[in-house]
Each structure stands twice: as C-alpha cells, then as structure tokens.
Structure 1
Amino acid sequence: MSKPSPNSRYVLLRYLSGALLFRVVFCCCVLVSLLEILALLEQTTPILQRHLGISGIVNYAAMRLPFLLSGALPLSVLIGALLMLTQMTLASEMAILRAAGLSTLGLYKYLVPATLLIGMAGIVLDDQITPRSEQALAAWWNRTDPAPEDGHSFWFHEGKNLTYVDHVADGGNVLGTVNVYIRNNQNMLVRTLHAPRAHYTGADGWTLYDVDGLDIDLKDQKVDRLPRLPAMPWNTTLFPRDFIRLSTGNAPLSTSTIIGMLRGQVPSDSSPGFLKAGLMERFLRPASLLVLLLIAMPVIYIPPRTGTRSWLPVWCLGAGLLFIVVQGLLRAMGNAGLLPPPVATVPALIIFTLGALTVLLRNETR
C-alpha cells in the first residue's frame, strides 16, 4: 500500500476539521438559544417592570450571550463530536478510512487541531469577553434597579484594611453604609470609619458623607471617638466598576485581575484557593475538550448491522456528561477549600482519559 501524500493528508485534515467545527458551532447555537430563552423567561418580567421595553430585553440577551456561550462550549464539543463520528460510521466513511490505513490514533490526531482551536477560543472568551460583558450587564442592571438598597452586601480586603459595603447603586457610583476597618502593619485594628453613603466623581474620586468613627489603641486599651465630619475624601484604589464586580459575588474574572488579587494588588473577596483553581481550570480547558473528544471516539466501533439501534452513542454521551459533572464537583470542593487547586482540576482529566483509552484499546483488540 502506498504512503498517503502530504496533499491527501491536508485534504483529510480540512475535511475532518471542517465537519467537527460545523457540528460544534451548530450544537452551540442550539444550546445557547435554549439557555437564552430560559434566562429571558425568568428576567423578562423584571425588565418590563423597570420600563426598559424591548430594547432592555435585547440588551440583556446580548450581554448575557458570552457567559452562556462559555458554559455551553464543553457540551457542544461532546455532542458535536458524537454526531460527526456517528454519522461517518453509519455512512461507512469510517470503514473506508480504516481500509485506507487510518488508525484510531490517526483519526484522533486529525481532530486534535480543531479541538485545540475551539479550546483556545474558549480561553479568550473566558479571559477577555465574558468578564467584560458580565461587568457591563451588572452595571446596567444595577443602574436601572429601582430599589438598590435591597441589593447584595459584601466585604472585601484592600491591603491590610477591611471594608463592608451594604449596597451599590447608580452603576457603582453610589455606595450605601460603608464601614472601613483600618489595620496597622501588625494587622492590629487602629481605626474604624462609618459613613451612611459614599459618592464617586471622576475628578475628586470617592467622598464619604456624615463620617464618624473610632481611634483604637489596643495596647493601652483606649478608644476615642472621632469628631463627625459632614464629608471626607476616601483614599481607595477602587473604581465604580470594581464595586460592581464585588457586589455580584463570583463574577467572571480576567487572568490579569486574578493575578493582581493573588499578589494583593487588586482588592478581593475570594480566597486564594478559589482564584488559583479558576485560573488552572481556564488554561486546562483545551485539555478538557480533548478528553471529551476522546470519550466520544468509541462510537466509531458501532457494528454496521446495528446502525441507529446501537446504545454506544448514549453511553459515550453519558460518560461525557459524567466527566463534566465530576469536574464541577471537584471544582466546587476546591472553591470551598476542601481540596487544593491541582487536586480540584487535574485528577478528573487523568481518570477519564485512562478510562476512554481503556475502552478504545479493548475495542481495538477484539
């Protein structure tokens, strides 16, 4: 048998990559459309109650799209790979490729570039697009909120100081009930400041109003009340967008923001373990998609006589869903501090890779 020419290999690579990308994009569009419909069913009433109209519904759907797209990507790769490989097997294309000398490993290699391309697109989506869209959505939602005082309260640490904010209003430009706890280099509390509200202006920065507080000397066990001030500047490095981010809880973060939090350069309300696990999971996304592709590979062994009656695609789909669920559970345990970040992200990749390889080798030796 003659060795395949480089040109024929490139043709096969383009064909398989195009087939996989088309089906992944199609599945992603279907899944994201369903998720958008479900999200709008929940949020349409609040949007209309705020008198935002049809434009508000469109804005919400557009700003929510990157987040939904990021979440649907792994399942889209799994279903897209299953559809492509099953269709090629039932159409006898796999039998022809095998007769031409293409092994299972060779087929997997041809599908790796397209999968890595999708994985890299997922990294860019998670790192740059989703954090910005979610930030814009949170600011817009807060700005149009008729009752911001019922919003989410939160704590954060900035350097050695701790700060409590009761709620955020006007897209982050107004804060309600700000308590600042100032600590010295020995992490001892030395002063507290309390202000019922704070306003931000671009030129003057943050201003606290009706400020009172305490001077605390723990060594001498002495506490002095500070005179009430109608207004005072607040020296903080945070901008309105930072308070919007903190008020939304576990908002998507860019890599630069996560690194800044880990180094103490950016105020944070998350634990280091949570941030490290999120960073590792983001850059391991291409590896996760490669594992999902490997899990889908056994469908090429569907017996010709079985056809669409085979349960093999169902078992592969179940294994892929189990992989996604296990990854989520381990990540949740890592977020809670029960597992270190490497244990919360890597073991699922190794276990399911070994399991999929075992199934493929078993079918090869039949």
Structure 2
Amino acid sequence: MTLPKYLMKLMAGRILAALAVLVGILQILDLLDVTTEILDRKLGAAGVAYYAMLRLPRLIEQAAPLAALAGSLFTFAKLAGDSAVTAMRSTGISAYRVTMMSVPAVVVLVVVQLAIGMAIAPRTDATLSEWWQKSTPKDPAKVIDPLTFRVGDEIVVAVPRDPDGRSLEKVTIYRRDQTGRLVQKTDARAAVYENDRWRLIEPRFETLGTGSIAEGQARSMDWTENLKPGDIRTLAAGQTTVTPAEASRALAGGLSVRPRTYYDTQLQRSWAAPIASIVMLLLAAPVAMANFRGGGATLLVQCLAAGLLFMVFDGAFTALGENGAAPPILAAWAAPMMFAAFGLTMLIYQEG
C-alpha cells in the first residue's frame, strides 16, 4: 500500500468512527425528546425508526465538523505516537505533504455535507414535516393561531385551514410601496391554492391615497405564485431550518418571516459550512509533529481548543450576519478564513 493511500485510509476510518459516535449521541438525545410523543400517536417502534431515519441527514450535517476535528486529531496523534512522521520527514516528506495526503478523506466529507445540505436534507425535512402533520391528533377544540409572514412587499396574516397547506382563512394582506408605506389592505374570507397559484375568496380592498380611502370588493381574484403549500406546512409546524432553495426564493420575493440579511447569510452559509471540515483538519495538523514524550499532549489540547473556539466564532459571526450587524459574506466566511490561516500558521511554526 502506498503512503497516500495509507494516510487516506487511516484518516477516513477515524473520521467515520468519530462521525458514527457523534451522530449516535445526537440521535439518542433527539429521540429522548420525541419518542414519548411518537408512541402517544400510536405510531409504535416503526414510527420511531422512521423519524430517526428522516432526521439522520441533518444530524450527519451537524456532526461532520466535530467528526473531522476528532478524526484528524486521532490520526495525527497516532502518526506522532508511532514516530511515523519523524520517519517520513527523514526521507524528505514534509509535514505539509503529510497534511495534503490526508485532505482527500476530508474532501469526501465536504462533498457529503454539500449533498446533504443542498439536496438530501431539504427533501427529508419536507417528508418529516408532512408525516408529522398528518399524524397529529385532531382536536376540534384547539384554537389555531394565525400565521404572520411576508411575500415580497406584502405582509400576510392568515389562519391555516387544512394540514396540506393548500387553503387559508381569515386572510389579511398589507401591501406596501418601495418606501415601506402602507398602500392597500385586503381582507378575504379564504385563500385556496389551485393551478399553481393562490386565489382569494371574497376579497375586500381598502386602498390608501394621499387624502382618501378607496374601497372595493370581488367574488374572487388571483393572488400570488410565490407562496407554496409546503411553505404553509413549514410555518404551521414551527420548522426553523432554512434550505438554500428557500433562502433564494425568499430573496426573490417568496415567503419570508425574517429580515433579508438572515436569508443572505443562510445562502452564504450553505457553501461556507462544509468548509469547516477542512479548517478542522488544518487546526489538527500540528499534532503530527507533537512529541508525546516531551509534553506533546499540550499541543493536542491546544489544537482541540482551537477547533472548539472556531465553532464558537463561526456561530457568533453567523448570528451577527443574520441580524444585519455584519455583511452576510463576512459573517459566513470570516471564521473559516481566519482559523484556516491560524491553522496554517501553527503548522508552519511546528515545521520550522
């Protein structure tokens, strides 16, 4: 077996083991919260297994950066403990090359994260939301709270009428101009989704002029194509995860419930988040030069702390971007770039 294949196999095995452990822990914690409710809905063990399967992609996505950090630390610590890196350096193989030969295993994890975030998780989330709504016990006495959201320049308040999200009742639409000034209020008895667009039933209009209010009504009228039944189901379920496609649609005038900066940041994060695994590899790489007989464990702890600190900074920058306190591109990419540079600096220092 060649050295690159050996290093890649070693790295991949440890990352996979760390990922399995972390996902298992997250899965157990998640099931502790919902198992009782699933059983109360008479869904049985099959329901628990189905829920766990649909939640698995998101858990893998969440655990991937920590798995990359743990797997990289274990790999480089083994190489250092076996004096393998010392032997490789004696033959002219630098620590930079050792790190580069380990990168393909992490790149595979990055590709898996991208596939989950862009394609797999949005579908499993939608399936889970629909399944959960259908299995919710019907309670005629339960009061359904109205939903408030934006569609383009319109603010909408409505009550969902069915679990499919294809009809609304008690609809009120506030339309604004480009400056944010209210120009029209529309009240409708209901709204139904037909032929890929929404239709208002018995709408009444109040149009605000400079010094007057004009009123009107109709039996029905077309409303918007930018709102989908899945959006209504997601809002009714209280789901907080935003997919890249949903963020793009919100920025293009589709459904939104948060500021524009939130969706801008989420769109940037969909590409920046998987890069965290490569950053973790760079932060762990200096451990390959550790001397565990001469206090090398301290370097291991420092690299672990750097990885955890990266996650804290990444979360803080993301929060700043979502609230508009920092530009979205800076909020998404600042922490990965800063800590990648820090990891390379540590590696150069150790190699020097």
Counterpart-to-counterpart distance in 2, 1:184 and 1:350? 40
Counterpart-to-counterpart distance in 2, 1:168 and 1:33? 38
Counterpart-to-counterpart distance in 1, 2:260 and 2:61? 23
Q: What secondary structure does 2:255 align onto?
A: coil
Equivalent of 2:332, from 340, 345, 357? Answer: 345
Equivalent of 1:359, from 326, 342, 346? Answer: 346
List aligned pairs for 1:218-257, cutoff 5 A: 218-222=209-213, 224=215, 226=217, 232=220, 235-237=223-225, 238-247=227-236, 248-254=238-244, 256-257=245-246
List aligned pairs for 1:205-224, cutoff 5 A: 211=202, 213-222=204-213, 224=215
Counterpart-to-counterpart distance in 1, 2:249 and 2:196? 25
- The answer to whether the Cα contact below 8 Å between 2:85 and 2:289 also exists between their aligned partners in 1 is no
1:199 CA drift (Å):
5.1
- The answer to whether the Cα contact below 8 Å between 1:330 and 1:345 also exists between their aligned partners in 2 is yes
| Amino acid of the structure 1 residue aligned with 2:157 | Y
User: Could you tell me which residue of structure 2 aligns to residue 162 of structure 1?
Assistant: 155
> Measured at CA, do residues 166 and 297 of structure 1 come closer, stay the same or move farther in structure 2, by a change above 3 Å?
same
User: Could you tell me which residue of structure 2 aligns to residue 291 of structure 1?
Assistant: 279
- The answer to whether the Cα contact below 8 Å between 1:78 and 1:292 also exists between their aligned partners in 2 is yes
Deviations 1:327-359 (A, max 9, x none): 011101111111111221222223223322332
Deviations 1:135-156 (A, max 9, x none): 1111221222236866675433
Greater mean deviation of Cα atoms: 345-354 or 63-72: 345-354
Counterpart-to-counterpart distance in 2, 1:332 and 1:151? 31
| Amino acid of the structure 2 residue aligned with 1:55 | A
> Measured at CA, do residues 216 and 294 of structure 1 come closer, stay the same or move farther in structure 2, by a change above 3 Å?
same
1:169 CA drift (Å):
4.1
Counterpart-to-counterpart distance in 2, 1:115 and 1:353? 14
User: Could you tell me which residue of structure 1 aligns to residue 42 of structure 2?
Assistant: 51
User: Could you tell me which residue of structure 2 aligns to residue 21 of structure 1?
Assistant: 12
- The answer to whether the Cα contact below 8 Å between 1:296 and 1:317 also exists between their aligned partners in 2 is yes
1:205 CA drift (Å):
6.4
1:38 CA drift (Å):
0.7
> Measured at CA, do residues 12 and 288 of structure 1 come closer, stay the same or move farther in structure 2, by a change above 3 Å?
same
The yes-or-no answer on 1:32 pairing with 2:23 is yes
Q: What secondary structure does 1:172 align onto?
A: coil
Q: What secondary structure does 2:97 align onto?
A: helix
Counterpart-to-counterpart distance in 2, 1:338 and 1:204? 37
In structure 1, list runs of 5 or more residues that go unmatched: 1-7
List aligned pairs for 1:110-259, cutoff 5 A: 110-146=101-137, 153-167=146-160, 169-182=162-175, 188-195=182-189, 198=191, 200=193, 211=202, 213-222=204-213, 224=215, 226=217, 232=220, 235-237=223-225, 238-247=227-236, 248-254=238-244, 256-259=245-248
In structure 2, list runs of 5 or more residues that go unmatched: none
Query: TM-score with structure 1 length normalisation?
Result: 0.84
Q: Percent identity?
A: 29
Query: TM-score with structure 2 length normalisation?
Result: 0.87
> Measured at CA, do residues 97 and 272 of structure 1 come closer, stay the same or move farther in structure 2, by a change above 3 Å?
same
Greater mean deviation of Cα atoms: 83-92 or 170-179: 170-179
Counterpart-to-counterpart distance in 2, 1:252 and 1:215? 34
Counterpart-to-counterpart distance in 2, 1:69 and 1:133? 13
The yes-or-no answer on 1:261 pairing with 2:255 is no
Counterpart-to-counterpart distance in 2, 1:234 and 1:42? 42
Counterpart-to-counterpart distance in 2, 1:207 and 1:54? 41
Greater mean deviation of Cα atoms: 160-169 or 289-298: 160-169
| Amino acid of the structure 2 residue aligned with 1:251 | T
